Amino acid sequence: MTSFAERNGTSRRAINAKKRQSRRPSRIGAVAGATPKPDRVKDEDAGFPTLLKRAWERAVDAPDLRGAVEILLTLDGHVPADVQLRALRTADEAALKVLCGISWREQDLPAPARDERARPAFLGELGLTTTGRIVVRVPSQGPLADEETLVDGVIDVPWSAQDLLDYESEVDRAATRYADQVVDCRQWLAALGTQARDELLETVRESALRTAPFVLHQEGKLYTNFREGNNLIGKTLWAGHPGETFSSLLGVPMEDWSDHDAMLVVCLTLLVRSAGAGRIEEANGTQLTLDHLAYMLERTRLNYNAVPGGEPVPAAPAHRVEALNALAVALRERRMGHVLPNAQLYREIHGALMHKIERLAGPYGEASQRREAELAARLSDRLPVSGATFAELGESLTAAPEWLARPYGEFGTGLEALVYETVAGAAEVFEADFAMSRGMRSIPELMRALREQAYTEITKWDITDFFCCVVPAPAAKRYFEDSVLQLADTAWAMSSRMQYNSWHFIAGNLPKVPAVVERDHFIPPTIPDVAFYSDQHHHGHVAAKVRFSIRSPQSVEVMGQKFNGFMDLRLLRCEGAPFDESDLLAAHRTSGFIAGAMSAAAALVAGGEDIEVTAFDSEWHLKSVQAAAAASAKQPQQVP
């Protein structure tokens, strides 16, 4: 198998020599790995730990218990409160309902009157764990510090005699409800039989493997494939690992399953049946029970039924497995057959808890139209296309696409110029600190491999067979010690990571031959998302200060085959105002324009053209960032 560089006439000796050189823009030409110490050392407290400490300090200073709880529920304004409410254990949920009148089940409960001067019948505690979950010390429980890893101490919570009575009634009802659901899950699984149950386990195991990391709760038990404490298949645990939950259940009689495992497997099954593996992330950071599942599916049902036309999905008559299974299947059918063709879905991502919420977009309004018009005018000036909208630009491109295969301006092909000008224009029009778009360097090689059904070869392609054009705003250097070189290094680091993402997704579009199944890959994304406070967990996001972002993936057609997630457009801001839905809708049309150009380029290649993307390597990013910084320095400063 040849690499992209070899296919373009570079000798293996030259390739190996270059591999021994640093690709970081600030050290191009230097020997890789020869620096005596890292340029920048990551602060171990950066990101999530700092957020938790700040939220806890605010909660300690709150005037009353309800105020403290409300701060912790949102992690000081960083996540929706209902996510944290749905992360509570049964006892904690009952306690907060009794003590504060707060519950995700019944909204706007009256806050109970509390006399803090009365002699308490029990002195409880309120704490925040290092995973970001609220915990409460309830009667019959010892100090929280003996059982939980806390951020920093506890807040004392006095309970009255009436609180104790109300809590006992509330927790008894909740425990009965949970026990009934456990029995329902166990009976449903038992009725499947061993073979069907194992097939179901294989499905949820594959879904867990092919989606982004997630963290789920079952009372006090944690199920996760994310970093420490892994007990589900993912980057750390492989299929068959003795500590991997799904593998350990294969072939095991139902009576030997724990209640937690039974509830987990049923709920994951129904989530996957409702919309595929991506739905699992919508449970991130919450308890996974039939009640919580019913809440999510009902929210989805209301969204899907809001799309005019088609047969609406009826509500589940009860929170029973059979009823929720029927609802999940009906939701998937309406999603695929009616919602996706007629409406725009997107995901809202809350980075602090990695929690995703599927949203139904509203109309394409004035703010979106304004961004589109501004960017379309810019592209009409700089490229051989014309139009006031992306639809018109696309028609212009389709009418005369040949220039995509010819040199244009400073670029080897018009396709490269189109990618760059669209990304650079998006960075300016959307007021982003960085904008980027990724793709495959050689469409001819992909076509050859597809014709030969060389799927194993495709899985072995390197990340250098893909590209990502990253364009930072010159002013973004203020986030990186006002250094142009640091800005270029950051842009190249982003580019490298996005090349990996292209490599990671492409296998998900190929037939499931053994090489594809064995190769690490995620299910390619198909709908856009807008993210808030992403600078919490992902080490690259922390280092690059990726706080607010938009991702708009698009499919590209190659030889009649749709490749989902073949490319995307990403916009990010390091601070300031987050992106909103209007930004996302306009960005999605922008990425659609780039995807249309890539599909047009594929059609040209099928007709005999040879289009390769050779730009957007580390040297290109260095020169591009330096040139933009120099041009920005020459511009007269505006007087406010």
Among candidate residues 501, 523, 521, 515, the one with its CA nearest the CA of residue 455: 515
The crossing angle, in degrees rounded to 10, of helices 65-73 and 90-100 is 130
Q: Dihedral of the CA atoms 210, 214, 217, 222 (nearest 10)? A: 90
Strands 345-350 and 529-532: parallel
530 contacts 348 by C-beta, under 8 angstroms: yes
Distant-in-sequence contacts of 316-321, Cβ < 8 A, 24+ apart: 319/181, 319/290, 319/291, 319/294, 320/184, 320/290, 321/184, 321/185, 321/188, 321/266, 321/270, 321/290
Alpha carbon 493 to chain centroid, angstroms = 19
Outline where 463-580 has alpha helix (H).
Answer: 484-506, 514-518, 539-544
Strands 215-218 and 155-159: unpaired
Instruction: Report the amino acid identity of residue 22.
Output: S
Alpha carbon 532 to chain centroid, angstroms = 10
Beta bridge partners of 128: 134
Whole-number Å distance between alpha carbons of 221 and 406 = 59
- For 567, phi then psi, to 5°, come to -145, 170
Give the residue carrying structure tokens 């306690």.
95
Q: Is the dihedral of CA 437, 442, 448, 454 positive or negative?
A: negative
The crossing angle, in degrees rounded to 10, of helices 161-192 and 290-305 is 80
Q: What angle do CA 274, 279, 282 make, to 5 degrees?
A: 130
- In a 3-state reduction of DSSP, which class is residue 536? coil
Distant-in-sequence contacts of 163-167, Cβ < 8 A, 24+ apart: 163/98, 163/99, 163/112, 163/121, 163/122, 164/121, 164/122, 164/139, 166/98, 167/94, 167/95, 167/98, 167/138, 167/139
Strands 548-558 and 529-532: antiparallel
Please tell me the predicted confidence (pLDDT) of residue 220: 85
Q: Rg of the chain over CA atoms, in angstroms? A: 27
Please tell me the predicted confidence (pLDDT) of residue 167: 96
From start to end of 497-612, where are the E strands? Answer: 529-532, 548-558, 561-573
> pLDDT tens across 296-311, in order?
999 999 999 999 999 9
- In a 3-state reduction of DSSP, which class is residue 138? coil
| Burial tier of 3 (Cβ tally within 10 Å: 0-12, 13-18, 19+) | middle
Whole-number Å distance between alpha carbons of 299 and 557 = 33
DSSP 8-class letter at 336:
I
- In a 3-state reduction of DSSP, which class is residue 309? coil
Alpha carbon 381 to chain centroid, angstroms = 35
Whole-number Å distance between alpha carbons of 518 and 516 = 5
Sheet of strand 434-440: strand arrangement: 355-360, 345-350, 529-532, 548-558, 561-573, 434-440, 466-472
Whole-number Å distance between alpha carbons of 302 and 9 = 57
Please tell me the predicted confidence (pLDDT) of residue 24: 79
DSSP 8-class letter at 400:
S
User: With a cut of 50, which residues of the chain have pLDDT below it?
Assistant: 1, 20, 639-640
Outline where 193-254 has alpha helix (H).
Answer: 194-209, 245-249
Distances (CA, A) of 568 to 59, 552, 638: 40, 5, 34
Please tell me the predicted confidence (pLDDT) of residue 47: 86
Please tell me the predicted confidence (pLDDT) of residue 4: 59
Strands 434-440 and 355-360: unpaired
> pLDDT tens across 436-477, in order?
999 999 999 999 999 999 999 999 999 999 999 999 999 999
DSSP 8-class letter at 209:
H
pTM of structure: 0.92
Please tell me the predicted confidence (pLDDT) of residue 289: 96
Whole-number Å distance between alpha carbons of 66 and 126 = 11
The crossing angle, in degrees rounded to 10, of helices 581-606 and 414-429 is 180
Please tell me the predicted confidence (pLDDT) of residue 640: 39
DSSP 8-class letter at 408:
B
Outline where 112-193 has alpha helix (H).
Answer: 161-192
Whole-number Å distance between alpha carbons of 38 and 345 = 42
- In a 3-state reduction of DSSP, which class is residue 613? coil
